[in-house]
């Protein structure tokens, strides 16, 4: 049993990193994924926090339609990287991954993870976001080429995974580690408490 809820958890994500973080706190969720149209760029006047919360809510809502009104909490999330005002999602190809890594090299960037928890039984939901600052060491072209050849960057926002080989490039972080990996556990706990306190 988990410390933060006794309810069944449905993870609306195929991310093995989010699954790992839930298992770390004793939760073995049911994984249900649905393809949804996500916002890839900031609209006029839109902040990164709004974008990730919007995407997370859409992912969760799509899964709720699929699973119906069962006694479960649906957890969904979306993560982006912002460096010097530019939004990085997952790289489309190796060249885009290289461009992202060159911009992150030697710089500090922000990672935003938006999360949504939906009570499948009632339809009520709670959304929030977490932001963590990450500082990269300077990278040479050989570093970038070798990292891309490993395949590690290709399914990750900002083209790196701090919990895997990309951790070699992270000099310091300020904020929650889980936010960078893709699921903030303290934020998840607060969203679940918000839903279950009513």
Residues that are catalytic: 78
Helices 141-149 and 94-104 cross at an angle (nearest 10°) of: 140
Q: Contact, 174 vs 133, CB < 8 A?
A: yes
Burial of 179 (0-12, 13-18, 19+ CB in 10 A): buried
The whole-angstrom separation of Cα 154 and Cα 84 is 21
Give, for 152, the enclosing helix (H) or strand (E).
none
The whole-angstrom separation of Cα 35 and Cα 188 is 22
Q: Using the 8-state DSSP alphabet, how is residue 132 labeled?
A: E
Contacts of 137 (CB under 8 A, 6+ apart): 105, 106, 169, 170, 171
The whole-angstrom separation of Cα 138 and Cα 102 is 9
């Amino acid at each position: 049993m988990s410390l933060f809820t006794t309810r069944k958890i449905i993870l609306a994500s195929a991310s093995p990193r989010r699954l790992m973080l839930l298992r770390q706190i004793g939760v073995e969720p049911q994984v249900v994924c649905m393809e949804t149209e996500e916002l890839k760029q900031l609209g006029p006047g839109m902040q990164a926090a709004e974008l990730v919360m919007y995407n997370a809510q859409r992912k969760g809502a799509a899964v709720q339609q699929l699973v119906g009104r069962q006694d479960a909490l649906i957890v969904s999330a979306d993560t982006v990287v912002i460096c010097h005002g530019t939004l990085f999602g997952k790289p489309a190809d190796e060249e885009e991954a290289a461009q992202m890594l060159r911009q992150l090299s030697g710089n500090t960037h922000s990672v935003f993870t938006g999360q949504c928890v939906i009570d499948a039984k009632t339809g009520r939901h709670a959304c929030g976001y977490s932001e963590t600052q990450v500082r990269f060491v300077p990278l040479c072209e050989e570093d970038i080429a070798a990292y891309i050849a490993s395949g590690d960057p290709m399914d990750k926002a900002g083209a790196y995974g701090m919990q895997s080989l990309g951790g070699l490039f992270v000099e310091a972080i300020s904020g929650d580690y889980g936010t960078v990996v893709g699921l903030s556990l303290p934020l998840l706990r607060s969203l679940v408490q918000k839903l279950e306190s009513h």
